[in-house]
Amino acid sequence: MELTPAPWRRERARYFAGVPAWGMPATGYREEPVPASLFGGVDRDWALGGADGSGVRVCVLDSGIDGTHPLAGPVDRAWEVVTEEGRVPRVRACEPTDTAGHGTACAGIIRELAPGVELSSLRVLEDGKSGSAAALIAGLAYAIEQDFDVINMSLSTARLEFRGRLAELCDRAYFRRTTLVVAAHNLPIESFPWSFSSVISVASHAEPGPLTYYYNAAPPVEFCARGVRVPVAQPGGGVTRNTGNSFAAPHIAGIAARVLSKHPWLTPFQLKSVLYHCADNVSIEGDDGGVLVSRAT
């Protein structure tokens, strides 16, 4: 019988209809389970059963968070990056507000999945919708120094001159046991820091379950979570539906927070391994003659 190439050796499809770039088809990859035989005792009940994110500090690095929104608040701390011509960007405290809604949407997803987290906001988008790579770097550096357990970044930069500095910061976070969950770009272009191995990179799938996520065996994206027509909080108290890898990342950030609230000593690489073994398409060898048994719940 002719063997098919391993997923990471195959040519990756550029697009799936209705899903942002780097994502999965609407059917997911359930038909091709990924074997995981080294950690048979790790499953979702072990990883996050009974956990709600309590004791875990999460920072949303984005456009801010509307702290009054019932689906996103309360906000523990709020900062913003201030950029002035001719001066180095600086971080200052501010009110928990969001003029664009992007950060509030991400915060609401995290809060839904891990209602017990201590959620903070750091605005790096200057006008609420776009920002400079310098502001992103200043904000990320500050957030890392605050020793958050998880930082959600649903943004990236394609500026090559900032790649090295971002890589240094992501490595610093990794060794300080701060997990960076980063959305892949919505277009098939090279950008950073989601493509770094030191972060947890996330793209979209089109299924409706907020806890449904997949391991992607064809890098650079590692996980795919709900990211198509996601109901999200918007400033002012309302709810809308949005599509994008931006909204897939906070699903993984929320799940990661729940895992850490139950297992606070996990390092970023251990947490990534737990997420891998609890993905809906990862399987273990059963006791029935080696038949693959799905972990999906």
pLDDT tens digits for 181-213?
999 999 999 899 999 999 999 999 999 999 999
Tell me which of 129 and 228 has the higher pLDDT. Answer: 228
Mean of the pLDDT values across residues 102-129? 92
Domain contains 242: yes
Domain contains 152: yes
State how many domains the chain has: 1
From the list 63, 246, 261, 283, the catalytic residue is: 246
Domain contains 80: yes
**Taking all residues of the chain, what is their mean pLDDT, rounded to a whole number?**
87
Provide the pLDDT for residue 292: 36
Q: Does the annotation count 198 as an active-site position?
A: no
Residue pointed to by tokens 């120094």: 145
pLDDT tens digits for 122-175?
999 876 566 788 999 999 999 999 999 999 999 999 999 999 999 999 999 999
- Percentage of the chain beyond pLDDT 90 is 69
| CATH assignment of the domain containing 240 | 3.40.50.200
Domain contains 9: no
Provide the pLDDT for residue 241: 96
Domain contains 269: yes
Taking CA atoms, 79 is separated from 7, 30, 108, 169, 170, in Å, by: 42, 41, 18, 19, 20
Provide the pLDDT for residue 288: 39
Q: Which domain holds residue 59?
A: 17-294
Domain contains 10: no
Provide the pLDDT for residue 42: 86
Q: Does the annotation count 197 as an active-site position?
A: no
Q: Angle of helix 245-262 relative to helix 268-277, nearest 10 degrees?
A: 110
Provide the pLDDT for residue 296: 38
Mean of the pLDDT values across residues 242-264? 97
Q: How confident is the model at residue 257 (pLDDT cuts 50, 70, 90)?
A: very high
Mean of the pLDDT values across residues 265-279? 93
From the list 69, 102, 185, 251, the catalytic residue is: 102
Provide the pLDDT for residue 9: 59
Provide the pLDDT for residue 35: 57
Provide the pLDDT for residue 236: 84
Contact by Cβ (8 Å): 243, 20: yes
pLDDT of residue 289 exceeding 50, the answer is: no
Provide the pLDDT for residue 294: 37
The tokens describing 252, both together, are 């993984």
Provide the pLDDT for residue 22: 75
Confidence (pTM)? 0.85
Q: Does the annotation count 45 as an active-site position?
A: no
Provide the pLDDT for residue 297: 35
Domain contains 196: yes
Domain contains 215: yes
Provide the pLDDT for residue 19: 80
Q: How confident is the model at residue 287 (pLDDT cuts 50, 70, 90)?
A: very low
Provide the pLDDT for residue 165: 96
